[in-house]
Chain A
Amino acid sequence: MKEIALHLLDIVQNSVRAGASHVAIRFLLGEDGVLEMGVRDDGCGMSEELLSRVRSPFTTTRTTRKVGLGIPLLMQNAMQTGGHVDIESEEGKGTDIAAFFQTGSIDCLPLGDLASTMASIIMGSPDTPEFALHCTSPTGEMSFSTEEIRPMLEGVSLAEPGVVQWIKESLEEEIEPILGGIMK
């Protein structure tokens, strides 16, 4: 992956597949330059047994092949900056995955185009789950959620190209002042 935002696009599919009805995404950039990318969902969660081997590239829930590289690649990119990945999960309750990146590291990926990632995520799953995004940094914070705009659309799908474009452009405007410093 060339961007942290592409890892998000990838990792969020796990929450969607877990049957979540709410997926909360967070990007928290601290004064110390550590960026936390977190995804919390209320999907099916994982058993302790699955959780213990979910970091392995040879663990996957699909049946067509024996490899799954989403989490291992995320771990590689977090760890090469001196960061790490935490995963908490409870069966029937949901999962929280958090990746920590030291953005000062020369090996840290750029955050990349987070607005495009959010647009792609929403386009891929327009009806359910509801997605929320929260970003904070020393320069400010922003929040967005599909739950807020859905009632205004009165039945028009969030996947309609015009709507997706509006979401992408409004997120670009809101994210730039907060996380613009680590985007490229």
Chain B
Amino acid sequence: MKTLAELEAIRKATLSRINLRKDDKGEVTRVVIGMATCGIAAGARPVMLAFMDEIEKRKLAHVQISQTGCIGMCRLEPMVDVILPGKDKVTYVHVKPEMVPRIVAEHIVNGRPVDEYTIGAAEKK
């Protein structure tokens, strides 16, 4: 059973990560997932939860996940934008949950976008 005591433990663990974030302000990496009708139908929900799992597993304090609506390229959904602080936005297309650990490890943690998953690579096909 999940208990409120567990929630309290999670709260305390999270609090220390939040303080870490406050110390070096502004340096947040943003992950934006398309969650309109098209994104949801194409499989955005498991992708979003995969990002959440991966960020929790690695205890990354500086990553913020958010949702956006339809941007008009429904055929490329599920789409995910990753915006590192001070860097240009990178757009990943046809994202599957299996691709998420690599995006987190190579791009979010190590700063090297996974070129083969990006919109640029998809449009060349």
Q: Please tell me if B120 contacts chain A, counting CB pairs below 8 Å.
A: no
Contact of A10 (CB < 8 Å), options: B11, B40, B65, B72: B40
Instruction: Report yes or no: B7 in contact with A149, Cβ–Cβ below 8 A.
Output: yes
Instruction: State in angstroms the CA–CA spacing of A93 and B15 once bound together.
Output: 37
Pick the contact of B45: A117, A153, A161, A169 (CB < 8 A): A117
Q: Does A116 contact B (CB under 8 A)?
A: yes
The residues of B that contact A156 with a CB separation of less than 8 Å are 11, 14-15, 18
**How far apart are A59's CB and chain B's nearest CB, in angstroms?**
13
The answer to whether B37 touches A123 (Cβ under 8 A) is no
Does more than half of chain B's interface fall in helix, strand or loop, or is it mixed? Answer: helix
Partner-contacting stretch, out of B52-60, B88-96, B110-118: B52-60
Partner of A70, one of B18, B37, B48: B37
Contact of A166 among B6, B36, B40 (CB under 8 A): B6
The residue on B at minimum CB distance from A8 is B40
Tell me whether A6 and B45 are in contact in the complex, defined as CB-CB below 8 angstroms, given that A123-B52, A159-B65 are known contacts: yes
Query: Would you call A153 and B37 a contact (CB within 8 A)?
Result: no
Please measure, in the bound complex, the distance between the C-alpha atom of A156 and the C-alpha atom of B106, giving whole angstroms: 29
Asked if A1 lies at the interface with its beta carbon under 8 angstroms from chain B, I say: yes
Question: Interface extent on B, as a size class?
Answer: 20 to 34
Surface stretch bound by B, among A41-49, A61-69, A127-135, A175-183: A61-69
A32 at the interface (CB under 8 A from B): no
A119 in contact with B49 (CB, 8 Å) = yes
| Contacts A1-B41, A10-B37; A123 near B14 (Cβ below 8 A) | no
Given known A6-B41, A9-B40, contact A62–B56 (CB-CB < 8 A): no
Q: A164 interface residue, CB < 8 Å from B?
A: yes
Contact between A152 and B65, CB atoms less than 8 A apart: no
20 CB contacts below 8 A, A to B, read: A1-B40, A1-B41, A6-B40, A6-B45, A62-B69, A64-B72, A116-B45, A119-B52, A120-B48, A120-B49, A123-B52, A124-B35, A124-B66, A154-B11, A156-B14, A156-B18, A160-B17, A165-B56, A166-B2, A169-B2
Apart from A70-B37, A116-B45, A160-B17: 18 A-B pairs, beta carbons within 8 A: A2-B41, A10-B37, A10-B41, A13-B35, A62-B70, A65-B70, A69-B38, A73-B37, A123-B65, A124-B67, A149-B7, A152-B7, A153-B11, A156-B18, A160-B14, A162-B56, A166-B2, A170-B2
Residues of A whose CB lies within 8 Å of any CB of B are 1-2, 6, 9-10, 13, 62, 64-65, 68-70, 73, 113, 116-117, 119-120, 123-124, 149, 152-154, 156, 159-166, 168-170, 173
